[in-house]
Copies of this chain bind each other. A is one copy, B any other.
Amino acid sequence: MSTGKVRLIMIDDHELFRDGLSLFLQMQTDLEIVATAATPMELRHLLSAHQVDVVMMDISLPQQSGIDLSKQLLKEYPKLKIIFLSGNEGQAYIEQSLKAGGKGFVPKSAPKTEVLEAIRHVAGGQFYFPSELAQSIFQQYISQLHLQTDASTVTERELEVLRCFANGMSFKEIEDHLHISKKTIEHHKKAIFDKLGFSSNADLVKYAIKNNIIEL
């Protein structure tokens, strides 16, 4: 990238946002906005047709979360540099984006100069994360990475149970829905509470909303 422009693709389901930002980015002489995408599928098509350096990705996407999508994409395109954009700048999001292999994170509340900074850092092979949060995140993250990656691995089945509870279902309703006994549900629920550190059902609901497991 020392020669030529940084080739980038943006994916965001909000056309307003997408066009607005790409308009701004196009003014930069060192960038080339190859294309923009609204859906994961569009993005896949674009990636298979173009050579791309950087993808700017909204975390909340239709169909699939940006986190999941980036994990998949990085298997196919290991050299791809992904910068996440998110309206929600909670630490949990940033951690998730790191785990997913993201190279940068920019809250949507940031000034647009920060987007440029992020792109240039990341295109140059560096990481870019919000300075205010970088310190505490790296400290906390690095020290607890082992524990957390173990702990926060919610299994598929647990996720189903979690979704049921977040939708307000009772044990009996879940029994019928998933065809497992109340005891098994108890077991999964306990595991979920332990892994994710919930102390009330309300925590569970909030988590499910934050992580797009259920609709608000």
- Contacts from A to B (Cβ < 8 Å): 13-17, 19-21, 23-24, 85, 87-88, 90, 108-112, 115, 165-170, 199-203, 205-206, 209-210, 215-216
User: Do the beta carbons of B201 and A202 come within 8 Å of each other?
Assistant: yes
Task: Note all chain B residues with C-beta closer than 8 A to A109.
Answer: 13-15
Closest CB in chain B relative to A89 CB, distance in Å: 11
User: Do the beta carbons of B15 and A90 come within 8 Å of each other?
Assistant: no
Task: Note all chain B residues with C-beta closer than 8 A to A209.
Answer: 206, 209, 216
User: Do the beta carbons of A111 and B15 come within 8 Å of each other?
Assistant: yes
Task: Note all chain B residues with C-beta closer than 8 A to A169.
Answer: 200
The 9 closest A-B pairs by CB, nearest first: A20-B20, A168-B200, A168-B202, A205-B205, A14-B108, A202-B205, A15-B111, A20-B21, A14-B109
Known contacts A20-B24, A87-B14; A168/B110 CB under 8 A? no
User: Do the beta carbons of A168 and B201 come within 8 Å of each other?
Assistant: yes
- Give the distance in Å from the alpha carbon of A216 to the alpha carbon of B214 in the complex: 13
Closest CB in chain B relative to A160 CB, distance in Å: 15
User: Do the beta carbons of B15 and A110 come within 8 Å of each other?
Assistant: yes
Q: List the B residue with the shortest CB-CB distance to A18.
A: B20
User: Do the beta carbons of B88 and A216 come within 8 Å of each other?
Assistant: yes
- Residue of A19, A20, A167 with highest tally of chain B CB at under 10 A: A20
Known contacts A87-B87, A88-B216, A216-B209; A110/B16 CB under 8 A? yes
- Residue of A21, A169, A199, A216 with highest tally of chain B CB at under 10 A: A216
